[in-house]
């Protein structure tokens, strides 16, 4: 059954790793054989000391999607990294601090291979039920664990467990809160074929897709997800890349980054950007539909600017925030597959 396959893949993963360090990447082969002696002197690019530089991808033009993986790292995460590397895909990992200690090498590899490292709390509590001090502790312990394991990377983004947050909690977290536009429900179905089908069909340009790398069927589905989305023309970006490197606001929730329609509506937008306390419409990212951040003092939302053309994202957004995560709810406790801790 499936287990046999996984052993093979793990072995391949190991081999893949060696290959990378040995051949130093994808240098075009024409440059590989110049005058013998000289070229040897030319320094081989040294092993990367840190993460690769951020890429500049214009997601207003390219068809971007951000795959995100929650609750790890776990026993399958290293294999997932190999899959992503083979597919030329970068992803974002929202990790639990309590799991980071068990897989420091995997976290380091994530960073070196250009993935984004995100904070998913220390132990996956519903943060809205904790005191501010407890919330801060969940966040900061995890930040430290990831920094240590990764060799100095400080996560900039946070995903609250179950997508559960509110104004007070958001303030205590003090980081941008990244939710999702596609909930694959992989934690619930644990079905590779289904995960692949949903993962290929549902994403829209600018979307953020939620998977869990602590579940083997989810990780098994990713090769097909990558293939299918590539055929649909998608580029795989990290969440920060999806937002074009823009600074996201602490405490604000984001579910996707649907590019603004090329031709803005002729409708006058009444005095929107001026208001000092109007965080709701920066760059059209803060989605109008985000329930978690009601923004009571923001009447100026008539034009619904971010949502032109009834485009993509909302379709499957369903899973959203305010309601204690349809998305991930029971995922954590009943993991039969032996991820650490739960």
Q: Interface residues with Zn ion (CB under 5 A)?
A: 70-71, 161, 328
Query: What backbone torsions phi and psi does residue 314 show, to the nearest 5 degrees?
Result: -60, -25
Structure tokens at 325: 């995560």
CB 277, CB 249: distance < 8 Å:
no
> In terms of CB distance, is 286 or 332 closer to Zn ion?
332
Cα angle value 315/318/319 (rounded, 5°): 135
Which one is catalytic: 120, 124, 212, 215? 212
Query: What backbone torsions phi and psi does residue 66 show, to the nearest 5 degrees?
Result: -110, 110
**Whole-number minimum distance, CB 325 to Zn ion, in Å?**
8
CA distances from 148 to 51, 73, 113, 311, 321 (A): 14, 14, 17, 41, 30
Distant-in-sequence, close-in-space partners of 250: CB < 8 Å, separation ≥ 6? 170, 171, 173, 174, 175, 176
Q: How many CA atoms lie within 13 A of 246 on its CB side?
A: 15
d(CA 116, CA 333): 25
**Whole-number minimum distance, CB 106 to Zn ion, in Å?**
17
Residue 132 is among the residues annotated as catalytic for this protein: no
Residue 191 is among the residues annotated as catalytic for this protein: no
> In terms of CB distance, is 71 or 241 closer to Zn ion?
71
> In terms of CB distance, is 214 or 312 closer to Zn ion?
214
Q: Which of 287, 320, 316 lies closest to 162 in space, CA to CA?
A: 320
CB 21, CB 48: distance < 8 Å:
no
> In terms of CB distance, is 70 or 186 closer to Zn ion?
70
Q: Which of 94, 123, 143, 107 lies closest to 332 in space, CA to CA?
A: 123
**Whole-number minimum distance, CB 96 to Zn ion, in Å?**
7
> In terms of CB distance, is 125 or 279 closer to Zn ion?
125
**Whole-number minimum distance, CB 117 to Zn ion, in Å?**
15
Taking each helix axis from N to C terminus, what angle separates 104-112 and 77-86, rounded to the nearest 10 degrees?
Answer: 20
**Whole-number minimum distance, CB 192 to Zn ion, in Å?**
20
> In terms of CB distance, is 121 or 257 closer to Zn ion?
121
**Whole-number minimum distance, CB 331 to Zn ion, in Å?**
6
**Whole-number minimum distance, CB 141 to Zn ion, in Å?**
16
Is residue 339 left, alpha or beta, with left meaning phi > 0 and alpha meaning psi from -120 to 50?
beta
> In terms of CB distance, is 69 or 234 closer to Zn ion?
69
d(CA 77, CA 215): 9
Is residue 316 left, alpha or beta, with left meaning phi > 0 and alpha meaning psi from -120 to 50?
alpha
CB 225, CB 195: distance < 8 Å:
yes
Report the catalytic residues: 70, 212
């Amino acid at each position: 059954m499936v287990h046999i396959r996984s052993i093979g893949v793990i072995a391949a993963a190991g081999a893949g790793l060696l290959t990378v360090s040995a051949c130093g990447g994808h240098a075009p082969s024409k440059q590989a054989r110049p005058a013998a002696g000289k070229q040897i002197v030319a320094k081989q690019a040294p092993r990367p000391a840190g993460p690769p530089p951020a890429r500049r991808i214009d997601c207003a033009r390219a068809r971007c999607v951000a795959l995100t993986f929650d609750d790890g790292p776990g026993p399958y995460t290293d294999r997932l990294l190999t899959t992503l590397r083979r597919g030329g895909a970068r992803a974002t990992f929202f990790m639990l601090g309590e799991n980071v200690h068990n897989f420091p090498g995997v976290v380091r590899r994530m960073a070196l291979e250009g993935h984004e490292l995100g904070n998913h709390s220390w132990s996956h509590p519903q943060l809205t039920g904790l005191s501010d001090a407890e919330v801060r502790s969940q966040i900061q312990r995890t930040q430290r664990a990831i920094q240590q394991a990764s060799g100095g990377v400080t996560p900039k983004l946070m995903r609250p467990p179950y997508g559960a947050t509110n104004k007070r909690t958001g303030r205590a977290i003090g980081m941008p809160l990244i939710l999702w536009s596609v909930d694959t429900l992989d934690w619930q179905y644990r079905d590779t074929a289904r995960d692949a089908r949903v993962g290929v069909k549902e994403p829209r340009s600018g979307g953020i897709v939620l998977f869990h790398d602590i579940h083997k069927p989810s990780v098994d589905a990713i090769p097909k997800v990558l293939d299918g989305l590539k055929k649909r023309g998608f580029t795989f970006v990290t969440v920060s890349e999806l937002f074009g490197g823009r600074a996201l606001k602490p405490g604000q929730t984001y579910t996707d980054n649907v590019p603004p329609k090329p031709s803005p509506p002729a409708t006058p937008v009444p005095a929107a950007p001026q208001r000092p306390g109007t965080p709701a419409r920066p760059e059209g990212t803060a989605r109008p539909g985000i329930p978690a951040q009601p923004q009571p003092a923001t009447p100026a939302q008539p034009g619904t600017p971010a949502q032109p053309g009834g485009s993509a994202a909302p379709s499957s957004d369903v899973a959203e925030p305010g309601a204690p995560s349809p998305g991930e709810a029971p995922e954590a406790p009943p993991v039969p597959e032996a991820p650490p801790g739960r």
